[in-house]
Amino acid sequence: MTTQASIRVIVADDQAAVREGLVLLLGTMPGITVVAEAGDGEEAVDLVAEHRPDVVLMDLGMPNVTGAEATRRVRRNHPGTQVVVLTTYASEDLALEALSAGALGYLTKSATKDAIARALSAAAAGQAVLDPGVQRTLIQAATRGRPAPAPADGLTAREIDVLKLIAAGCGNRDISRRLFISEPTVKTHINRIFAKTGSKDRAQAVRYAQQHRYADAGTDADPG
């Protein structure tokens, strides 16, 4: 009797505890083998080139290279590797960004073990699996005829989230807590926001947010 080949997976998440927990969880699933783990998007892309896995289980909010950009690179350079996003939010913008980048699955971190196993198996077979909340979100977006977001400044959905919180006067620690990402990840997003908006500091970023309707023009934000 022929034994079905194991699905080879790379886990990419910048939070070590989450990443290690996922590796342990996947290790209990028959037919799934974790071949490597990455702490950021750039490392994930490099490891895909090295290991050529069937699927990458990808977080979105990672430093250096975001999960969406890493997904785009993986799908462009290694079409034999599929990507399943596993992230905190069932956000419309994040889902559209990830799926536009080429992700074949999108789950939130509240997904069950069985749901993760099904998504990995489906992705390896070239089939899409979406979290029920994400499906509802995308159906609502389609009903409204909402196009995929494409800001002229090139800001990603997560960078816009961070920019809005900067404009609301939030410091890095507060942004980290609100978005459930690490402070180093917040700093990475802020540096990219500065580069994309031509801002030299938080005060200029606040002005940019107000001028481009990412924040209420009347927001009393602390630019310090």
Task: Quote the tokens at residue 209.
Answer: 């947010």
- Look at phi and psi of residue 169 and say left if phi exceeds 0, alpha if psi is from -120 to 50, else beta: left
pLDDT in tens for each of the 224 residues of the chain? 444 679 999 999 999 999 999 999 999 999 999 999 999 999 999 999 999 999 999 998 888 888 989 999 999 999 999 999 998 876 777 777 888 888 988 998 888 999 999 999 999 998 888 877 777 666 665 555 554 444 556 788 888 889 999 988 889 998 988 888 888 889 999 998 998 888 888 988 888 888 877 775 333 333 33
Angle at 182 between CA 66 and CA 85, to 5 degrees: 40
Its pTM stands at: 0.62
Cα separation, 106 vs 82, in Å, equals 12
